[in-house]
Amino acid sequence: MANEVDTLSRRILEEVWNQRNLDLADQLISDDFVTHDPRGTSGKGPEAYKEFVRQYLTAFPDLQFTIEDSVADDQSVATRWTATGTHNGPLYGIPATGRRVSVNGIVFNKFENGKFTVSWSAWDSLSLMKQLGMMPSPETVQAA
C-alpha cells in the first residue's frame, strides 16, 4: 500500500504539474481536499486544486518539479522536491521579472480511498522572493 501512496504522490507532481494534465486532478483529489502552503489555504476539492496549480503555471509557464526523495506509509507520503522555472507571468501581485528560479520544498500528503484528502507544503519562499529581486541581498543591506 505504501508504494501505491507514493505512486499517487509522484503522479500529482509529474503528470498534473510537469505534464500540465490538470484534468487528472479530478481522479486524484477528493471532493473535500484542501491544500495548505506558505501562501495560505486553498478552497476544497479538485477545482480549487486546479486553480492553485494554474496560478503557479501562469507565473512560471515552464515550471518543472524534480522529486528528490519520498517516504510513504499506507496513508501518507512526504516528498522532497526542487522546482525550477522562469517568472514570465504575475504571481500574487508581483509582475513578471523574466528571472529563472530554483526553489526547494517538501509536501506531506494524506490519502484515503486512493485520493488525496489534504496536503501541507513548506518551501523556501524567502529564496524565491530573493531570486525574483523582491528582497535585498545581504551585500546590498551591508552597503547601506
DSSP 63-130: -EEEEEEEEE-SSEEEEEEEEEEE--S-BTTBPP---EEEEEEEEEEEEETTEEEEEEEEE-HHHHHH
Lowest mean pLDDT among 46-50, 77-81, 89-93, 139-143: 139-143
Stronger pLDDT, 134 or 60, i.e. the higher one: 60
The full set of domains in the chain, from first to last, is 2-132 (3.10.450.50)
Stronger pLDDT, 115 or 2, i.e. the higher one: 115
Average pLDDT of every residue of the chain: 92
pLDDT digits (tens, 9 = 90+) for 2-43: 788 888 889 999 999 999 999 999 999 999 999 998 877 778
Measure the CA–CA gap between 69 and 71, rounded to whole angstroms.
7
pTM of the model: 0.88
